[in-house]
Amino acid sequence: MIDEASKILELLPYEEPFLFVDEISELDENHIKGSYSIKENEYYFRGHFKGKPVVPGVIITEIMAQIGLVSFGIGLLLKKSSDKEFNKEILPVFSNFHVEFVNSVGPGAKIEVESKKAFFRLGKLSCKVICTHGDIVIARGEMGGVITQ
């Protein structure tokens, strides 16, 4: 799993300051778990909100998508192909989502994301995703997208 997780991280089409995946801890044909630790100096905290920084919902959604959809999709593609067949040019297209925000989170939080596959066919991945901080649910919902190479 460690080799597979590092391969996924290498293939993600993001970089700082827009990379929101620190670790992939579990991956199989039906689910993925990963995490991202919110840094104290994240760019989006400037002015959001004065005196009480809160991670914006759009960033929570992006964290959920990068771990629960894109990382998962790359992992599923890796499982289906050999190293010789796998093209490193990954193009994720986020097609739909419905996310319910339950709690807020701020600087220093370790966000954990778990995604369970609803289906994956013809490059289209649909998942149920939950985002937590410890035992507290931050957001949950459904996401879909197309992972092409």
Express each pLDDT in 128-146 by its tens digit.
999 999 999 999 999 999 9
User: Tokens for 76?
Assistant: 């599923």
Arithmetic mean of pLDDT, 7-19:
93
State the pLDDT at residue 86.
62
Q: pTM, whole model, 2 decimals?
A: 0.93
Residues annotated as catalytic are 48
CATH class of this structure's domain 2-148: alpha beta
135 vs 133: CA distance, rounded Å: 6
- Beta-carbon contacts of 18 under 8 Å, excluding residues fewer than 6 positions away, are 62
